[in-house]
Chains A and B, each alone.
Chain A
Amino acid sequence: MGFNIYDFSGMTHNMHLWFMERMSPTATTIVEWTVIGVSYMLFVALFGLFLVYAERKVCAAFQQRLGPMRVGFWGVLQTIADFIKLLMKELIMPKSADKFLYNLAPFIVMIATFLAMAVLPFAKGLQTLDFDIGIFYVTAVSSVGVIGILLAGWSSNNKYSLIGAMRSGAQILSYELSVSLSLVTIIILAGSMQLSVIVESQRDSWFLFKGHIPSLIAFVIFLIAGTAETNRGPFDLAEAESELTAGFHTEYSGIKFAFFFLAEYINMFIVAAMATTVFLGGWMPLHFGSIESFNHVMDFIPPLVWFFMKVCGVIFLIMWFKWTFPRLRVDQILTLEWKYLLPINLVNILLMCLVVLTKFHL
């Protein structure tokens, strides 16, 4: 096919060469880091704003309301106005808070989010880091965020914050198991932990379809556990408004609160992006085995569009969970994980091994 406009690897390579011609290798590295960092920050800010707006609109639709309608057309500027308001707010610190940890906590949460985003393949060649242990890396760094949450709860010197943080810690540590094991199911199928390889091997058929019933179960478990890990939806007892005012970020205001808020939404994006990459074929277009014309039409939609369409679909599903199900109690959350998700997951891995051993997926 020759030059492919949907392939970004050539573009990034040319950019690298362009910089190298004009600068020393050190300067090139610094400039490239800056460009990547700025683009990630821009993406987080813009997509975070979009997600907040989308959440408010979707929530409203689930409750037969309209949501924000006044600021801008259909309220599209509402979140920008809210963000400006947050920026102008005074940063209030509790008198007896641990000052250093209190100020550090939002940044740890934010850094964990950025770290996890680094390996996500947005399109072919549009991936910052391509580890051969990509999935392992994501599960590892995404659980760093819980340290920030625990620090926030502890340093605020507020019993509600502490209870919220402890609940959050117990929940994230438990559900980390299910997330990892459901990803292990797919690693067995894919035979690789490298995200680009995983996406590439879904060219003909997504893993959700390729792995038959085991990967469907793994997908459902990943969605449930991923929702729990982002402290969202029916698992938001860490910030249960009616019991703990706001949980671990009760004492935060202004931009520090915005950091927690943004990190929560971007974590939701990361969960959705991981689900997309691992189960729904990443940026690969939807292909059905033998229908050539259909496959050809699908190829015309750019991979970035595919990726974001799938991500938005998964995000909509997660929002659907949140606005439908009632909040679980602490004991119910731990029962769900340790008595249901974990045993089902282990049996599911066994099933997937059988599928792979009998070459049923080929």
Chain B
Amino acid sequence: MNALFKYISTVFKGVGTLLTGMKITGKYVFTPWNNVTQQYPENRDTLKMFDRFRGEVIMPHSENNEHLCTGCGICELNCPNGSIEIISKMELTEEGKKKRAIDQHIYHLGMCTFCNLCIKACPTGAIVMGQNFEHAVWDRSKLTKVLNQPGSKIAQGVKE
């Protein structure tokens, strides 16, 4: 008798779990406005990528053409496939001390795997992931980018 009871309860439990699954997928069907598909080339103007999307590494500059990069090279050390090259230079500060600064932050987009390690490692938050994903170019050399803009300098008060 106990076995029979167990058998029947198994059947009902099984049907119950199946109905739970069907309820979830049914909710997806009847809420089509939650669809995730983007019809890309048509909605190119209105398309907004989600916040965590990793399109490319960029270095934000302020309106005074100032960035936060100190040229420490930690991103270069952390990059697993050598997509980042840091060329630093020595600058004289106002007190007459020598200080290291970024000359060229070279980023090879073609080699980047978008692993986000450089951004996590950056002590000053100078580089972030951008949202642009249209990277197709005719020439491979165009994928090598210099992230700091020409004539830019480090913002005041950034500690190394």
Q: Please say whether chains A and B are actual partners in one complex.
A: yes
Please indicate the chain B residues that have their CB under 8 angstroms from the CB of A344 in the complex: 11
Q: Are B36 and A324 in contact (CB under 8 A)?
A: no
Inter-chain CA distance A66–B36, complex, in Å, is 8
Please indicate the chain B residues that have their CB under 8 angstroms from the CB of A65 in the complex: 35-37
In the complex, identify which listed stretch (A56-64, A266-274, A305-313) lies at the interface while the others stay far away.
A56-64
Main DSSP-derived SS at the B contact region? helix
Inter-chain CA distance A70–B35, complex, in Å, is 17
User: Contact size class for B?
Assistant: 10 to 19
Inter-chain CA distance A83–B104, complex, in Å, is 56
With known contacts A324-B21, A340-B11, A69–B29 Cβ distance under 8 A: no
Q: Are A61 and B39 in contact (CB under 8 A)?
A: no
Q: Are B39 and A62 in contact (CB under 8 A)?
A: no
B87 within 8 A of A: no
Inter-chain CA distance A69–B32, complex, in Å, is 15
Q: Which of A63, A323, A324 has most chain B Cβ within 10 Å?
A: A324
B47 within 8 A of A: no
User: From residue B131, how far is it (CB to closest CB) to chain A in Å?
Assistant: 22
Q: Are B28 and A63 in contact (CB under 8 A)?
A: yes
**Residue of chain A at shortest CB distance from B30:** A61
User: From residue B37, how far is it (CB to closest CB) to chain A in Å?
Assistant: 4
Inter-chain CA distance A148–B37, complex, in Å, is 39
Give per-residue flags for B129-158: 1 if the beta carbon is below 8 A from chain A beta carbons, else 0: 000000000000000000000000000000
**Residue of chain B at shortest CB distance from A61:** B29
Inter-chain CA distance A181–B67, complex, in Å, is 77
Give per-residue flags for B21-35: 1 if the beta carbon is below 8 A from chain A beta carbons, else 0: 110111011001011
Inter-chain CA distance A330–B28, complex, in Å, is 29
Give per-residue flags for A318-352: 1 if the beta carbon is below 8 A from chain B beta carbons, else 0: 00110111000000000000001000100000000
User: From residue B20, how far is it (CB to closest CB) to chain A in Å?
Assistant: 10
Q: Are B32 and A61 in contact (CB under 8 A)?
A: yes
Within 8 A of B (CB), among A76-98: none
Inter-chain CA distance A60–B37, complex, in Å, is 10
User: From residue A344, how far is it (CB to closest CB) to chain B in Å?
Assistant: 7
B1 within 8 A of A: no
Please indicate the chain A residues that have their CB under 8 angstroms from the CB of B39 in the complex: 66, 69
Q: Are B22 and A320 in contact (CB under 8 A)?
A: yes
Please indicate the chain A residues that have their CB under 8 angstroms from the CB of B34 in the complex: 64
User: From residue B6, how far is it (CB to closest CB) to chain A in Å?
Assistant: 12
Q: Are B28 and A64 in contact (CB under 8 A)?
A: yes
Inter-chain CA distance A325–B23, complex, in Å, is 12
Please indicate the chain B residues that have their CB under 8 angstroms from the CB of A66 in the complex: 35, 37, 39
B18 within 8 A of A: yes
**Residue of chain A at shortest CB distance from B8:** A344
Q: Are B25 and A323 in contact (CB under 8 A)?
A: yes
With known contacts A69-B39, A340-B11, A344-B11, A62–B18 Cβ distance under 8 A: no
A residues with a Cβ closer than 8 A to B are: 58, 60-66, 69, 320-321, 323-325, 340, 344
The 4 A-B pairs with the shortest beta carbon distances in the complex, nearest first, are A66-B37, A324-B25, A61-B29, A324-B21
Additional A-B contact list (17), CB under 8 Å, known A64-B34, A324-B21: A60-B37, A61-B32, A63-B28, A64-B28, A64-B35, A64-B36, A65-B35, A65-B37, A66-B37, A66-B39, A69-B37, A320-B22, A320-B26, A320-B29, A323-B25, A324-B22, A325-B21
